[in-house]
Amino acid sequence: MAREVIRVETTGVGDGRAGATAPSATLLADLARVADEVLPALVARLGVSGLGEIEVRHDGWHVRVRRGAASGTTSRPTPTGSTASSGTAAGSGTAAHSGTAAGSGTGAHSVPHEPTVSSPGVGYVSYRSGLAVGHRVARGDAVGWVDVLGVRQEVVAPIEGVVGELLVAAGDPVEFGQSILRLLAADGATSARASA
């Protein structure tokens, strides 16, 4: 994939999140906001944009989020602060990508080897209505969810691709990290590992 870099000045951020706060805040408040709001927003945006890197500059600081070099097609945010399993994060803008971090596990820096989307939690699997083998999905699409005590944790396609195989029947239980479906990369030539 071509490495495309965009630099986003705060005044030019489309959703306004990064530039919304007055610059008079203390350093600590700034850091907290960067960690809690800006980073998850950037990570989510990076995940669906197809870009290699996003950088935000504002006042004295700047934040750059870059796609991991080793993983190629999979976004690998390193922060561990967000969690998909508490249930409270489900449905927010960051929920999809907290699952990405969770699924990477101990193999975070290894070359992709398993062309599957894995479960972000322990519970029962459901697929998006009508989803079937052969369907094309865009990067960032919710392909389904895992029901954890009644709270949905989204299963998100980390790459654009074609559904190759549903590995778990809808309604069946899954454990954390279990492979849920196989996703073929959009060009059809390779399968890509994806931890959604």
> Binding residues for another protein, per CB under 8 A?
80, 83, 85-87, 102, 105-106, 121-124, 148-149, 151, 173-178
Q: How far is the CB of 91 from another protein (least distance, A)?
A: 15
| Pairing status of strand 116-118 against strand 151-156 | unpaired
Is residue 163 within 8 A of residue 180, CB to CB? The reply is: no
* Least gap, CB of 168 to another protein (angstroms): 12
Cα distance between residue 94 and residue 151, in whole Å: 15
Which of 123/161 has CB closer to another protein?
A: 123
How far are the Cα atoms of 37, 104, 160 from residue 193, in angstroms, in the given order? Answer: 28, 10, 12
Of 75 and 104, CB closest to another protein: 104
CB 122 within 8 A of CB 183: no
Q: Which is nearer to another protein, 5 or 170 (CB)?
A: 170
Nearer to another protein, 37 or 147 (CB): 147
Task: Give least dist CB 170 to another protein, A.
Answer: 14
List all residues 6 or more positions away from 32 whose beta carbon is below 8 Å from its beta carbon. none
In the complex, minimum distance from the CB of residue 81 to another protein, in angstroms, rounded to a whole number: 11
